[in-house]
């Protein structure tokens, strides 16, 4: 067994490596550029949302309760469409520093749990490939597999979901490499 405190450097380095890799994957490589599309007649829709006083939050449309789900009126609304879920964030310029800070914090949290799991499962001196497999699987579960629920429950296009899961696989492998490299030798 290896304590989490003995793996603090691996946690921080893995978080930094994943942070940089995600920046490259989202800002330099082109494959995420078409993940979002523009709504037709966007200005009209935005004006209607402003007039309605739409506040930040999550919305389901058409909205229905459990009791209303099978009513003929609701079935008809769903047939007519559109049907969707929407997240509205606070108005104003995008403050990337806030989101990047939260992403780095998340990477640290993932690294902490990878350290905990891997340190509990393996002892000091474990072979690089053994550390790689355990740490990589734990990191992939955190970064990649969790993305699948967005395709299932949120209606995210499966192409986008698969790209995000593949990103998670890359992040998991990078985390695994760092943990294998910085694992205590004995």
Cα first-last separation, the chain:
11
167-178 as b/e: b if 16+ CB within 10 A: bbbbbbbbbbbb
Among 110, 134, 141, CA closest to 183: 134
Token pair listed for 105: 């914090």
What's the sign of the alpha-carbon dihedral 87, 83, 44, 30? positive
Whether residue 34 contacts residue 179, with contact meaning beta carbons closer than 8 Å, is answered with no
> Which secondary-structure segment (H or E) carries 120?
helix 96-121
Per residue of the chain (186 residues), give pLDDT as tens.
999 999 999 999 999 999 999 999 999 999 999 999 999 999 999 999 999 999 999 999 999 999 998 899 999 999 999 999 999 999 999 999 999 999 999 999 999 999 999 999 999 999 999 999 999 999 999 999 999 999 999 999 999 999 999 999 999 999 999 999 999 997
pTM, to two decimals: 0.89
Burial class (CB in 10 A: 0-12, 13-18, 19+), 118: buried
């Amino acid at each position: 067994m290896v304590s989490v405190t003995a793996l603090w450097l691996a946690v921080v380095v893995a978080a930094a490596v994943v942070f940089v890799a995600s920046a490259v994957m989202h800002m330099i490589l082109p494959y995420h550029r078409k993940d979002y599309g523009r709504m037709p007649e966007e200005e009209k829709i935005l004006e209607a949302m402003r007039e309605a006083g739409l506040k930040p939050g999550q919305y389901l449309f058409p909205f229905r309760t459990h009791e209303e789900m099978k009513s003929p009126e609701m079935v008809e609304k769903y047939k007519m469409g559109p049907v969707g879920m929407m997240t509205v964030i606070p108005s104003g310029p995008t403050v990337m520093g806030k989101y990047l800070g939260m992403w780095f914090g998340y990477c640290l949290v993932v690294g902490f749990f990878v350290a905990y799991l891997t340190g509990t499962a393996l002892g000091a001196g474990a072979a690089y490939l053994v550390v790689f497999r355990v740490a990589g699987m734990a990191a992939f579960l955190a970064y990649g597999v969790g993305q699948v629920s967005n395709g299932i429950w949120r209606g995210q296009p499966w192409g986008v979901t698969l790209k995000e899961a593949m990103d998670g696989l890359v992040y998991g492998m990078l985390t695994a490499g760092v943990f294998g490299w910085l694992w205590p030798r004995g």
